Every structure is written in C-alpha cells, then in structure tokens.
Structure 1
Amino acid sequence: MLEGIPLIDAHVHAARLPTLKLSWKEWAQKFGKDVPFSKIYDEEGTLIPEQFDAYMASEGVDLAVLFCEYSPRSTGIQPVEDLLPIVEYNPSRFKIMANINPHLHYPPVAEVRRQLDLGAVGLKLHPVHGSFAPNDRMLYPVYAFCESEGVSVVFHCGTSVFPGATNRYANPELIEDVARDFPDLTIILAHGGRGWWYDAAAFMTLMRENVWIEISGLPPRKLPEYYKNYDLERLAKKMIFGTDWPGVPGPRANATALLDLKLSRETIELIFHRNARRVYRLEGK
C-alpha cells in the first residue's frame, strides 16, 4: 500500500532460475540491479517463499500476479507448478497467471482449464517468445472458452530484446482481430505497445471497452512521452499497474514514479488496484 492506496503488481516473473535461459538472467540482473537476489533465492535458484513474501510486503505490494512461461525458443520453460509453493505460502498476496504455447499444449483449451483449476486468475499469451500470431485460428477455441468463462487474456504487446523473439507478432493490429471476433473477451495489452506501437495500443484501448493497457516494462516517468498524442488522464483510467519484475528497480520505485505524474487520486486508484481487481475478478480472492 502506498499513500493509503492498495497496490497490485499484475505482472511479476517469479522465475525458478534453472528453468530459464542465460539471456533472461542477464536481463534481470541488468534492469533489476536493486533486487536482493541473494536474499530471496536459495542456492539452487528457487525463490524462498517467506523471503519473497517479505520482500513484496516491503515494496508495498498487497497482491502480486505471478507469471510462468512456456517459451523454449526465447526464455526457456518455467512450468506453472513452480509458482504454487509461493501461492501456498501466502494465497492472499499471490495469485498465478496461466500461460499456454499452442506449439506445446494440445488441446490448448484443456491446458487452460487445468491451469485455471490450479488457481489462475487469467491467461497470458506470449506470441513474441512463443513464435505464434495472436490471431492464429488455432487459438480461437481458447478465446471462445475464455470469453464464455469470463477469463481475461493478457497479450505481450511490445518489442522484446531476447534472442529468438519474433517481434512482428507483438503488433496490436493482430490482437485487434481477436477483439473484433470476440467482442465480449477482456483483453490486456501488456507493455502497452512498447517500441513503435504506442499509438495503436492507446487507440485500441480507448476504442474498445474490453481492452486495457498494462504498463509493465514501461518507465512510468516516460508515459507522457510514449502516449503524447493522447489525453494521459483519460487513457490512464484504463491502465493496470505491473512492473515486469525482476527487470525493474522495484515495485515501490515504479509506483512512486506514477504518483509523480500528478494524475488524480481516482485515476491512481484505478491503476494501482481497481482495474486489476475488475479484469481478474479478484474481489474476495
């Protein structure tokens, strides 16, 4: 909680280091230089639940959504089961996000359902690292299922520097096809069009009621620059706070930088926790 406002970090990579490629570890150490890795990880590269919980509490995070990843080409494979000990330690602070790769999971709907049964609050798709287009028809049964079940879908929507990334699949125009064909599906654009798609992501978010921007991986102080062609106060009302931890100085630093933008308290509350609670149906969880 910061300045009396609850804080939800909706994009946290609670990685088990042996499952990931060296490029991921280099990224984490470069951009997360203030993260106390030696205190929160054990000698085998696994997060220590009680230490990680204490760290997130010290950063002001009331609830964190933990991401797994099935992207052998770019970052490696971290199965969702790796996250369960953290959630079991403190289920009030930690939730998990499902993740599928259609090249690895078949039938994909069954795998989505399995991870939801484990407690996932939404589904993340990573076309850039998984090397698939978000509008590929093989994913349409997944979207139909999520739409009917009220499950929000998070798309990586921005460039990636990891080796093997296919950045053309981050284009919001491809996600717009999904929004068109599944009008009742809630869509979150993680990284907000990072790279050369800021305008497209912002326009899509304002045009469609069920589309949201999640600002993980974006330095908050640069949001006015990235979205300079839009009324930031208006657009920010549809933003969700996320950090892309551990590739950041820390959740508190990012949240404080958001406060420095002098947005209204109502808007800050939406970004910090209310929008996430809405799209991931977190009330009472």
Structure 2
Amino acid sequence: MLDGHVLVDAHVHVPVLTSLAPAWIQWARDFGPEGILDRVWDAEGRPRPAVLAELFAEQGVDTALLFCEYSPRATGYQRFDDLLPLVEHDPQRFRPVANVNPHLHFPIAAEVRRQLDLGAAALKLHPVHGGFRCDDAQLYPAYAVLEERGVPLVVHCGTSSFPGSRNELADPEFLLPVARDFPGLDVVLAHGGRGWWYDAAAFMALSHPNVWIELSGLPPKRLPEYYARYDLRRLARRWIFATDWPGVPGTAANARAVVGLGLDDELAGLVLGGNARAVYAGLDHLEHLAPPPPGGEPA
C-alpha cells in the first residue's frame, strides 16, 4: 500500500528484451530510472521475477498489470506467454494483460479466450503500433468474448514517437461504436488522449458509464492543463492510475503527485486502486487491503 491506499499500477511493460525493437530499449533508458534495465533484466534479456517483485514492493505497488504487445511494425513481438513466469512468481502482485493484433491472430476470439484462460486481467489493443482501427468489424468477436467474460478492453489512446507508429489511429472516435455496441464492456483509454485528444477522451469518460481514463505516460502536474475544460475532481472519478513503467522516474512519486492535485482521501482511494479493482478482472485479492469506509464494512 502507499500512504494508506491500495496502489495498482495498471500499465507496466516487462518484455523479454530480445523481442524488442531498439527504439523501445532507448525509450526505457531515456525516461526510466537510471540503470533500470541492468537491475531488472538478466544478461539474456529476461526480467528477473524476484527483483521485479521487490522493486514494486518498495514503491508500494500492491498489483501491477503487465503488458505485452504483438506489434512487429513498431516495437517488436512481445509474447503474452513470456509474462507468465513473473505471474507465477508473485501471482498477487502481478497480473498479465492480453494482447492481440488482427493482422497476426486468426481466429481472433480463440486467441483472446486462450490468453484470458491463462489469467489475463484485460485485453490491450495497440492500434497505433499494430496498424488497425478499433472499430474494425474483425475485432468484434474479441469484444464479444470480453463482454461475456466481464473483462475490460484497454486501448492505446494517444500519440507514440516510436518509428512505424500510425498516430492517426489513436483517435478515440473509433471507440464510439464499440462503447455503444458493447454497453457491458468497460473501455479504458490508455494515455487518456495524449496528444490532441484530451477533450475527446474526457467527454467520452464523462458521458459513457463504461469508459475510463488511464493515466499512463501523463505527467501528473500537467493533468490540470490537459483537462482544463473539465472539472478535475469530477473527471478524476473516471481515472485509473498507471505509469507506463519503466518509462517513468518513480511509481510512488507519480502516485503521490496525482493525489497532490487536490484529491481528497476518498477520491485518492478510487484513483490509486479502487477504480482498477472495479474494472479489471482478477483483482479480488485486493479487497482485504482496502480500508473500510467510515462506519461500514470493507469496500
């Protein structure tokens, strides 16, 4: 826990380094803590489970959602199955997130089911790196599986600087038919509209009960600027804390900076962990960590 709150980092990357494009490794060196690649990854480029668990425990992270990415066009071919040794080492602290690319996976629903059966807490789509639109009909079978299973969809909704990125595909407008056609599916906007879609992302989160804003890659002190047209406290009720680790100086520092925007204790609890517990699959183990509400039973 961090300062009395359950802390979930809902956007963490721990790939096998040999599966990556060189630009990813340079990004981690440029934006992450000094020496992080040498500390966490071994000589063969595989993350060390015990070291990673210790690092996140030091930062007060109760659960980290681990991402993979089948995007050979931009960042590499990061396999879902490579996350499983980390989860096996510390299944309460680490949960995997599924990923598919419609150019690579067919039938797509079968691959989504396979990854969910292996414990995925969500399905992440990366249209910018993968080169597809999220309103493509070939993705609808995947959405149907998610809605049936009660598992959320996470979509990269923001610009990317990686070579090969197609930033025009990050427009949250492409998710409007998805939110409409699958009302029982929670849709999480990773990076919250980073670039020039902040207003669109905020409007969608406030107007659709199944749409959320995930804060990965956004400097906390800039959030009031990014969402200046909206009441920040009202919008914060739709926020899910995340960092885009390892591309962040420190998880705990980021979490405290978000709370420092003026969030009261109840709202801080929602942003740092409560909303994630409500949205992602398989986080029931965090329930016993949550402090009870005043005069009531544990949330």
Q: TM-score range by the shorter chain?
A: over 0.9
> Are positions 1:216 and 2:204 aligned together?
no
Give the conservation status (yes or no) of the 8 Å contact 1:35–1:250.
no
Aligned to 1:161: 161
Deviation per CA, 1:162-191: give whole Å up to 9, x if none. 111111110010011211221221100000
TM-score w.r.t. length of structure 2? 0.93
Measured in 1, the distance between the counterparts of 2:27 and 2:285 equals 35
1:204-283 alignment runs, 5 A limit: 204-281=204-281, 282-283=283-284
* Counterpart residue identity of residue 16, structure 1: V
Measured in 2, the distance between the counterparts of 1:34 and 1:164 equals 27
Aligned to 1:117: 117
Measured in 2, the distance between the counterparts of 1:57 and 1:284 equals 16
Deviation per CA, 1:4-63: give whole Å up to 9, x if none. 111000100011111000000111111114363222211111111001110111111111
Q: Secondary structure in 2 aligned to 1:156? A: strand
Give the % identical residues: 58
Aligned to 1:44: 44
Measured in 2, the distance between the counterparts of 1:182 and 1:211 equals 11
Give the conservation status (yes or no) of the 8 Å contact 2:11–2:66.
yes
TM-score w.r.t. length of structure 1? 0.98
Measured in 2, the distance between the counterparts of 1:234 and 1:84 equals 37
Aligned to 2:297: none
RMSD, aligned CA: 1.0
* Counterpart residue identity of residue 254, structure 1: N
Measured in 1, the distance between the counterparts of 2:147 and 2:285 equals 21
Q: Secondary structure in 1 aligned to 2:73? A: coil
Q: Secondary structure in 1 aligned to 2:248? A: coil
Alpha-carbon spacing, 1:56–1:143, altered in 2? closer, same or farther (3 Å): same
Q: Secondary structure in 1 aligned to 2:121? A: strand
Give the conservation status (yes or no) of the 8 Å contact 2:134–2:175.
yes
Give the conservation status (yes or no) of the 8 Å contact 2:70–2:79.
yes
Deviation of 1:284 (Å): 3.4
Aligned to 2:17: 17
Deviation of 1:110 (Å): 0.3
> Are positions 1:149 and 2:153 aligned together?
no
User: How many pairs does the alignment contain?
Assistant: 285
Aligned to 2:291: none
Alpha-carbon spacing, 1:284–1:3, altered in 2? closer, same or farther (3 Å): closer
Give the conservation status (yes or no) of the 8 Å contact 2:63–2:95.
yes
Deviation of 1:258 (Å): 1.1
Give the conservation status (yes or no) of the 8 Å contact 1:34–1:250.
no
Give the conservation status (yes or no) of the 8 Å contact 1:160–1:167.
yes
Show structure 2 runs of 5+ residues with no match.
Answer: 287-299
Q: Which moved more, 1:268-277 or 1:178-187?
A: 178-187
Give the conservation status (yes or no) of the 8 Å contact 2:112–2:145.
no
Aligned to 2:285: 284
Measured in 1, the distance between the counterparts of 2:177 and 2:166 equals 19
